[in-house]
Every structure is written in structure tokens, then in C-alpha cells.
Amino acid sequence: RFYGLERVTLQEMLAAVAEIQPFAPRFLREMTVFPYRSAEGKALLAVADPAETAAMRAAQIVLGADIAVKVASFEDIAVALD
């Protein structure tokens, strides 16, 4: 709530189109982020720690500046990355 971001569920992440190919697997795991696209094609980034701005910046560079950020649990992101 502090960051004013929506939450994303594991089911939503698993149903989405993952955009993990442009990123190193180690980067995604260490930053605990999951880049994906919505059904409408919008770029989204699930983050476990919204204070980690480096990961958000990297996703903006790769996927475009208009990326939307949502919050997910560490465990859900780990499952989605597997």
C-alpha cells in the first residue's frame, strides 16, 4: 500500500505471456522480478520489492518506458520464473 501499486497473483502471472528471454535468468532471480505481457499486450513487471528501482529501470530499457509495475510475493515470482 505504501507504494500505491496493485498486487498480481500467481495465477495471473502463469496465465500471462512471459517476457523473460531478453533478461539473464540470474538477474531475474536475484532481483526477484517477473516481466510479462497482459492479454492486451501491455508490458508489466511483477516485483517483490518495489524499492528495487534498478530492476524496474532495466525492464523499462528492454520492454519500453511505459511498463506497469505490480507487486507479487517472492515465492510467487520464483514459481513463475520456473
pTM over 0.75: yes
Domain that holds residue 45: 10-81
Give me the number of domains the chain comprises: 1
CATH number at residue 26: 3.30.300
Q: What is the pLDDT of residue 70?
A: 95
Q: Quick check: 1 pLDDT over 70? A: no
Contacts of 35 (CB under 8 A, 6+ apart): 18, 19, 20, 23, 28, 43, 44, 45, 46, 59, 62, 63, 67
